[in-house]
Amino acid sequence: MRVLVTGATGNVGRHVVDGLVAAGVEVRALTRRPAEAAFADGVEVVGGDLETPDPAVFAGVDRLYLFTAGKTATVLEHAKHAGATRVVLLSSMSVGFDDEQVGESHRVAEEAVADSGLEWTHLRPGMFATNLLEWATSIRTDGVVREPYGAAAQTAIHEVDIAEVAVAALLTDKHVGQVLALTSAEVLTKVEQAEAIGAAIGKPVRFEELSPEQWKAEVSDEVPGWVADWLLGIWAGAADVPETPLSTVADVLGRPARTLKEWATDHAADFR
């Protein structure tokens, strides 16, 4: 079996590649920057952009891990025409939010996948733990995290857990036609997340509460205003009502989801 992995250099995609290789599956990894890509031996690397999908990329592909970008419906047509039978889509829990801008691209991609005639699974993760890499510079330099809503209680998921669920959906028949909402099994406030990173790197990490306005002003060069407002809304909501941890990772993989401390240990070099 040959699986095409799109978004293969990404946080999740690179682990999907590794998981498939470990399972003995032939992997074709798609990237817009093939010269810079570094994958395990045996992985076939192809250049390509999902905005301008090239039918040749899909020749001989049986199954597809699909990152939401570009012309999803055309990608699916090419894949089906080439004889592929299954697609696993990296979607987002944001499809269920009452929010046009962020959830919309995922809603469109989910519909295209469900209408494609291929076997499908939608993965809908909540917050990725990798978002906390935003804290790396200030933790490395000052041992501090400066953000609003330290009481926001979240279920940040390890990217390897998402990838392992994707691999299970690609390689077993159990999840065809399923929508899998994915979170970690623990709920930690931002203050506790900072502490978990500190415990993993063996150095205290302090959470310094900013007002929403202070934070928005501080990040205005890097974070567009509407994204900042969207994030503030999510954090305010999670401070009010803690996010709900789901058992999907354990149900699919038969072992508990990784903890944030495990995630921070895996990424300790980023925070030291």
Ligand X SMILES: NC(=O)c1ccc[n+]([C@@H]2O[C@H](COP(=O)([O-])OP(=O)(O)OC[C@H]3O[C@@H](n4cnc5c(N)ncnc54)[C@H](OP(=O)(O)O)[C@@H]3O)[C@@H](O)[C@H]2O)c1
| Contact code string over 209-248 relative to ligand X, x by CB under 6 A | ----------------------------------------
Q: For ligand X, which is the closer residue by CB, 9 or 116?
A: 9
Q: For ligand X, which is the closer residue by CB, 93 or 167?
A: 93
Q: Which of 128, 149, 215, 263 binds ligand X (CB under 6 A)?
A: 128
Radius of gyration of the chain (CA): 19
Report 5-44 residues binding ligand X (CB under 6 A): 6-7, 9-13, 31-33
Reduced to 3 states (helix: H, G, I; strand: E, B; else coil), residue 243 is coil
Count H helices, E strands: the chain? 11, 11
Q: Residue count at the site for ligand X (CB under 6 A)?
A: 24
Q: Maximum Cα–Cα distance for the chain, whole Å?
A: 55
Q: For ligand X, which is the closer residue by CB, 54 or 208?
A: 54
Q: For ligand X, which is the closer residue by CB, 31 or 116?
A: 31
- Phi-psi domain of 138 (left: phi exceeds 0; alpha: psi -120 through 50; beta: other): alpha
Q: For ligand X, which is the closer residue by CB, 129 or 139?
A: 129
Residue 260 engages ligand X in binding (rule: CB under 6 A): no
Report 129-148 residues binding ligand X (CB under 6 A): 131
- Phi-psi domain of 177 (left: phi exceeds 0; alpha: psi -120 through 50; beta: other): left
Residue 167: Cβ-neighbour burial (10 angstroms; 0-12, 13-18, 19+) = buried
Q: For ligand X, which is the closer residue by CB, 154 or 259?
A: 154
Are 118 and 85 contacting, i.e. CB atoms less than 8 angstroms apart? yes
Reduced to 3 states (helix: H, G, I; strand: E, B; else coil), residue 127 is coil
Q: Give me the least distance between CB of 238 and ligand X, in Å please.
A: 13
Residue 125 engages ligand X in binding (rule: CB under 6 A): yes
Residue 153 engages ligand X in binding (rule: CB under 6 A): no
Q: Within 10 A of 226 (CB to CB), how many other CB atoms are there? A: 10
Q: For ligand X, which is the closer residue by CB, 32 or 174?
A: 32
- Phi-psi domain of 3 (left: phi exceeds 0; alpha: psi -120 through 50; beta: other): beta
Are 190 and 149 contacting, i.e. CB atoms less than 8 angstroms apart? yes
Q: Which residue is nearest to ligand X (CB)?
A: 10
Reduced to 3 states (helix: H, G, I; strand: E, B; else coil), residue 210 is coil
Report 54-113 residues binding ligand X (CB under 6 A): 67-70, 90, 92-93
Residues that bind ligand X (CB under 6 A): 6-7, 9-13, 31-33, 49-51, 67-70, 90, 92-93, 125, 127-128, 131
